Structure 1
Amino acid sequence: MGHHARRPLTAHDNAATPDRPTRPESEPNMTDTTDTADTTTDLSAHWTVRLAELAARHSVPGASLGILHRGELVAEAAVGLANTEAGIGATTDTLFQIGSISKVWTTTVAMSLVDEGLLELDAPLVSVLPELRLADEELTQRVTVRHLMTHTSGIDGDLFTDTGRGDDCLEKFAALLAETAPNHPLGATMSYCNAGFTLLGRVLEVVTGVQWDRLMRERLYSPLGLTHTVTLPEDVLRFRAAIGHLGDPPAQAPRWGLMRSAGPAGLICSTPREVLKFARLHRDNGVTEDGTRILSAESVAAMQTPQVELPDPYVLAHSWGLGWFLDTWDGHRVHGHDGGTIGQSAFLRVLPEADLAICLLTNGGDTGSLYRDVFAEIARDLAGVTMRPGIEPAAGPVAVDPADYVGVYERLSSRLEIVERDGGLVMCDRITGPLAELVDETEREYELRPVEPGLFVVRRPGLKTWFPVVFYALADGTRYIHHGARATPKVG
């Protein structure tokens, strides 16, 4: 999902695309029509039963799953309810919000423009947007497309101001960034940045002269033959669609979606089948099933090449490429992305050496635990790969000096106060600003359980997964917390 359980749109080896593995003669011929159909039917039936069991275990109202193996869609399954109040069942054609997986789609279109010479990764944005004004002059003059794609710009990413439904919403949003204080110096660290992808969407509009929603249709959805992938609510209404659910037990969210300006960062709605068609585009080095080239093989490889290491490599990935995050499971490279909107969570992982891609779309409950159970089982059964284990508190005592951590850490939309209490540390987490209007709770407290000095974990109510809280310093000595994939500076 998003990289913070309550935050919308959120919040780890060289990842150049290898040649796809050659199928040993002893393996079944997955391109044989009869064998493929039988295998797909069997796997789909298995996963319909298994997904229902696991979704019930983790209180997930509705879920839809797709598995792409050796270039073929080998299983689809959908279970539960897309909308609990209306009693609408989830099907494999139900549209879910894929959230921040959209960022990889936006990056793909941007890289196609790089291929065409219309955009440069390392040219200052002001060369395309001369009117751009950011919080300080250095940031304004030096920030590049690469900074946006890798979440290293320093622009605070959690600006969720609604700039309206008009086609000028991205232009209006970009103008707001002049008043948005950065949360770290340019290139100094990685901090998940939704606002940066909205700004990237605006760059694409200016370069092409085409509004972002239409540009995505023209550059991706249509060439890929996607019929159930859209962004605008009036287009979603043509289909059966899921709504998010919040709380424990999950109840229908009070609103369906985010503001239109969040589009390039996370407003695509789709199905696992069509998300996996997108993943297959990258598997096939930028060429669609009908032979249309959308992206160069060099750009496909560049997107999967590490650009920045994560201060918190324990949940998502150890590094970020261009759009994709990059991880390693059991010695196998993995790239992917998660998405989280208002009560909806999405997960995409690709294991290139195993020629395996998995997509899971959900609408509430303990989605992180469901993801781990489902993906671990599929990776083991189809690829013989063991998923990287989740982080846990230390089994024994850890020597911790509270004075090293106590204080206030703050940025746009988030205030974290670390206090000493009853011999331990507690994190008081408060969501502020426009983001506070989009979440079910704005204040929570968590006990910080030590793993090692500088590394703690917290567990949120109703969830089984532990989430890291990393304390670290930038090169200039400024103290930071990295949590939910975001960097928050110490201010007091």
Structure 2
Amino acid sequence: MFEVNRVTARSSSLDAAHWQRRLDVLAENHGVAGAVLGILHGDDMMSAAFGVTNMRTGAPVQTDTVFQIGSITKVYSATAALRLVADGVLDLDKPISTWLPTLRLADDAAHRVTLRHLLTHTSGIAGDVFTDTGRGDDCLERYVDGLASVPQLLPPGTGFSYCNSGFSLVGRVIEQVTGKVWDRAMHDLLFAPLGLDTTMTLPEEALLHSAAMGHEHQADGTLQPAARWGLPRSNGPAGGIVCTARDVLAFSRFHLNDGRVPDGNTLLPRALVRDMRSTQIELPFYDGDNNALGLAWFRQTWDGQSLIGHDGYTVGQNAFLRLLPSHQLAVVLLANGGPAPDLYRALYSEIFAELAGVAMPSPLHPPQGSSGFDTGHHVGTYLGYNHEHEVLDDDGVPSLRWAATGSLVDVMPTTEGEYEAIAAGGDLLLYREPGQRRWRPATFVQLPDGRSGLYIGLRAYIRAS
């Protein structure tokens, strides 16, 4: 039995004890190592904790335990960049070569990729570049120099493909115009003004706190502490923030309050905050959650209501953030191992129904009967950068395999595998990872440049000729 930790609440209007009980029951049922749940509703805030920071030591998770929030970091980096836009230092629609004149990208894209492209994952740059350029303050500069050898998957501005490397590039732009390393610039532009006292970017800072260690499933099926802490420092602007759930809610309050900080002053103009959560592009597929993208924020529709949010995954840790502006509601779940996506669905469906009367969309399910999927038409290998998928025909039944290559091998717990896959439509497979309940879509499309592609995990993969 995991240890249950103290609940904190700012007001009795949120039933903190109830949500602690629900976290306890659902997290244990799903086999999650540790988690913190945070809820912000109007002026009221609460958090609840469950489990252990490290299954080897048994140290309990506290409500002030820091977790890696992974790609939710992208919203923070975007917010910092927009502060510089508001000050006239940056411009959303100028080429990034304006501020990085020596930048080199494949296909001369440096003179065409804009900050808006980077913040909407439409730069076309191959996204899963996890090159470790060291721990020095020049790590982002060296990382960006290395992008010269990274291919363009799509022409800039023509299509969506989730792009971690693009946000490292955003971080380098921030460094260039502020004269500070990204870590310091984030502190000065965002963490300090918002009072985010338990938000940090470096592991040596996290060690000063109760810190959650990621856990990964091993070959024998057990959940064990991960072999390393997190991503390389050069990927910091894309996924390097470590913080408490309470600080994530404070950041969420800033966005729900249209850029106002607790003292009532405006840190970011309302128009830019609204631009961040307004539709910039429609996604060319439905992944069961997201249907559009703002500036870094993903947009979702639940029961007719518009939400914004982002998820994060690092080495054995998951983070889920959803904001419902119409109800001044934000919910964050931080977890450090096990089937956290299933816990997220179980908890959030209850929270949003009870606090806002909003139903979470039903998860994707395999269809009954024939799907019309033409396995032979879609058979082939679909290539990304450091990652590929292969669709196979097993007597008319599709199967889906994947493999990691290059620098991605260093950040993945396993380097190849096969999904459980079921045909679900003419151009749609549903797949799920071993040990998880949730089905996800693999969508076959014709890309804007005419090539055949496959969208999996928000990323575009190009069919090999």
1:311 deviates by 2.3
CA displacement 1:41-98 (0-9 Å, x = unmatched): xx2211222101111111110000110001321x210000111101111010000001
Amino acid at match of 1:334: L
- Worse overlay, 348-357 or 393-402: 393-402
TM-superposition CA deviations, 1:139-189 (whole Å, max 9, x none): 121000000000000111111010111111111000000000112221221
Residue 428 (structure 1) aligns with: 401
The answer on whether the counterparts of 1:224 and 1:288 sit within 8 Å (CA) in structure 2 is: yes
Partner of 2:292: 319
Match of 1:347 in 2: 320
Distance (whole Å) between structure 1 residues aligned to residue 371 and residue 312 of structure 2: 34
Whole-Å separation in 1 of the counterparts to 2:430 and 2:212: 32
* TM-score, normalization by structure 2: 0.96
Counterpart residue number, 1:14: none
Per-residue Cα deviation, 1:306-356 (whole angstroms, up to 9, x for no partner): 111212322331011001000110000000100000000000000111211
What residue number does 1:161 align with? Answer: 131
Structure 1: distance between partners of 2:190 and 2:248 = 11
| Cα distance in 1 between the residues matched to 2:352 and 2:67 | 23
Q: Deviations over 1:426-476 (max 9, x none)?
A: 111111111112212111112431221101101111101001100000233
Aligned-pair identity (%): 46
Three-state SS of the structure 2 residue aligned to 1:39 is: coil
- Return the TM-score normalized by structure 1: 0.90
Q: 2:48 pairs with 64, 70, 77, which one?
A: 77
What's the counterpart of residue 19 of structure 1?
none
Q: Residues 62 and 363 of structure 1 are in contact (CA less than 8 Å); yes or no, is this contact kept in structure 2?
A: yes
Q: Residue 36 of structure 2 contacts residue 63 of structure 2 at CA under 8 Å; is this kept in 1?
A: yes
1:129 aligns with 2:100: yes
Structure with more contact order per residue of length (Cα contacts < 8 Å, sep ≥ 6): 1
| Contact persistence 2:310–2:322 (CA under 8 A) | yes
In 1, Cα distance between equivalents of 2:43 and 2:107: 47
Equivalent residue number for residue 6 of structure 2: none
Q: How does 1:382-397 map to 2 (within 5 A)?
A: 382-397=355-370
Count of aligned pairs: 454
- Quick one: which of 441, 446, 450 aligns to 2:419? 446
Give the equivalent residue in structure 2 for 1:188. Answer: 158
Determine whether 1:210 maps to 2:183: no
Instruction: Report SS of the residue matched to 1:303.
Output: helix
Partner residue of 1:219? 189
2:29 aligned partner = 57
Tell me if structure 2 keeps the 8 A contact 1:205–1:211: yes
State the Cα distance separating 1:208 from its structure 2 match. 1.1
Q: Within 2, Cα distance between the matches of 1:161 and 1:316?
A: 29
Query: What root-mean-square deviation, in Å, do the aligned CA atoms of Structure 1 and Structure 2 show?
Result: 1.2
Shift, 1:400, TM fit: 2.3
Say if 2:8 is the partner of 1:38.
no
Q: Tell me, yes or no, if the aligned pair for 1:184 and 1:489 is still in contact at 8 Å.
A: no
Matched with 1:198 is 168
Counterpart of 1:4? none
Structure 1 segments of 4+ aligned residues over 6 angstroms from their partners: none
The residue correspondences of 1:282-361 to structure 2 (distance < 5 A) are 282-361=255-334
Q: Give the distance between the partners of 1:372 and 1:253, measured in 2 at CA.
A: 24
**Paired amino acid for 2:69:** I
CA distance in 1, matches of 2:396, 2:411: 34
Counterpart AA for 2:212: A
Q: Determine helix, strand or coil for the equivalent of 2:453.
A: strand
- Tell me the amino acid that sits aligned with residue 367 of structure 1: A
SS in 2 for 1:434: helix
How much does 1:399 deviate? 2.0
What corresponds to 2:3 in structure 1? Answer: none
Unaligned runs of 5+ in 1: 1-34
